Amino acid sequence: MSKNKTTILHMFTPAPNLSPFDVNMAIDAGWDHCIPYTGIAVDEVEALTQDAIFSRGPKGVKATGLFIGGRDINTAMDMLALARKSMVPPFEVAVFADPSGAFTTAAAMVACAEKQLAKHHDGDLEGRRVLVFGGTGPVGATCAVLAARAGARTAIVSHMGRATADEAAAHFGERFCVTLEGADGSNDDAIEALLEDADVVFGAAKAGVQVLNGGHLEKAPRLLVACDVNAVPPEGIEGVDVGAKGTPLESASGKALGIGAMAVGNVKYKVQHALLQEMVEAPEPRYLDFDDAWRLARDLA
């Protein structure tokens, strides 16, 4: 990272507080100052962006960046688009959106699953049946979009029922130009029916919530990979320990491999760190979102 001028990262979030995780990551990546702006609405981004770019001169903007947090991926993408539109070249800075860490976490999940499929099952996600439990949340929705972009037949599963899942699938599918399905995960019978033809499952539900138990997994004869990001007991997917890294999942098909939160987190950490550095080191301003996170995650997994 260039140290010719003090680096300043302006960190926008619609939430009441900025994530300490993101602040730690930014400082560890080499940013000198990380300034929080909380409770920010989308229509405030233009003025804040232009305040940030005009004060340091065309050279100083290379040591300036914007980070967009929050919890909602739609709001984050809207903020990213508006920040980009608000630039006035040569006054232009890099912008990185990673709401609730969803973009880097989901990218790591999909990349880790792709690695295990390639290593042990001689393939990738193309044509696979993928279920994303907790798929209406920020991590799950991003995971579903990336899996679909990789060619998987992807379903967002909701414990609230099919209608909720259908609504999310339609919305995210249209917004990000992918084909997604909704699926009912509200009861055991519905879950077991879904698992009959599942090749890959992702667990992205809230911490401490188990979405799949051993009994469910016994109904998954085709399962190849189960990836869970829940690091808080109980396991989000029973049998997938937080430290699992391609570990055989005994209660499933006999071919299934588990990927736990620590394996995903290791890749996620590296990806976020690298993108925060890339903001300063790239010769031209970058506008970074989940596609950029996925690009790096595939290399780092």
* Global pTM value: 0.95
Q: What digits encode the pLDDT tens for the residues 106-123?
A: 999 999 999 999 999 999
Q: Do 220 and 171 reside in the same domain of the chain?
A: yes
CATH number of the domain encompassing residue 258: 3.40.50.720
* HSE, side-chain direction, 13 A CA sphere, residue 85: 12
Considering the domain architecture, whether residues 106 and 247 belong to the same structural domain is answered as yes
Strand positions, DSSP E, 64-179? 64-68, 94-97, 129-133, 153-158
pLDDT at position 3 over 80? no
**Of 64, 97, 130, which closes a domain?**
97
The predicted pLDDT at position 1 comes to: 43
pLDDT at 4: 61
Same domain, 241 and 120: yes
Report which DSSP code applies to 260: -
pLDDT per position as a tens digit, 149-161 = 999 999 999 999 9
What is the domain extent for residue 22? 8-97
Q: Which tens digit of pLDDT belongs to each residue from 216-232?
A: 999 999 999 999 999 99
Residue 150 lies in a domain: yes
Domain-embedded: residue 82: yes
**CA 246: distance to chain centroid?**
20
- Domain contains 295: no
Q: Give me the residues paired with residue 200 across strands.
A: 130, 225
Mean per-residue pLDDT over the chain, rounded? 95
Same domain, 196 and 259: yes
> Is residue 276 domain-resident?
no
Q: Is residue 19 part of a domain?
A: yes
Last residue of a domain, one of 79, 97, 115: 97
Query: Quick check: is 136 in a domain?
Result: yes
Number of H helices, E strands in the chain: 11, 12
Structural domain includes residue 145: yes
Specify the CATH number for the domain of residue 53: 3.40.50.10280
Please determine, for residue 251, whether its predicted confidence score (pLDDT) is greater than 80: no
Chain segment 192-211, per-residue pLDDT in tens: 999 999 999 999 998 889 99
Map residue 124 onto helix, strand or coil.
Answer: coil
pLDDT of residue 59: 82
Number of domains in the chain: 2
Residue 106 and residue 47 in one domain: no
What is the SS3 string spanning 190-243? HHHHHHCCCCEEEECCCCCCCCECHHHHCCCCCCCEEEECCCCCCCCECCCCCC
Do residues 114 and 209 share a domain? yes
Whether residues 220 and 107 fall in one domain = yes
Instruction: Classify residue 18: in a domain, yes or no.
Output: yes
Instruction: Compute the 3-state secondary structure of the chain and give helix, strand, coil in percent, each to the nearest 5.
Output: 45, 20, 35
Rounded Cα–Cα distance for residues 172 and 145 (Å) = 7
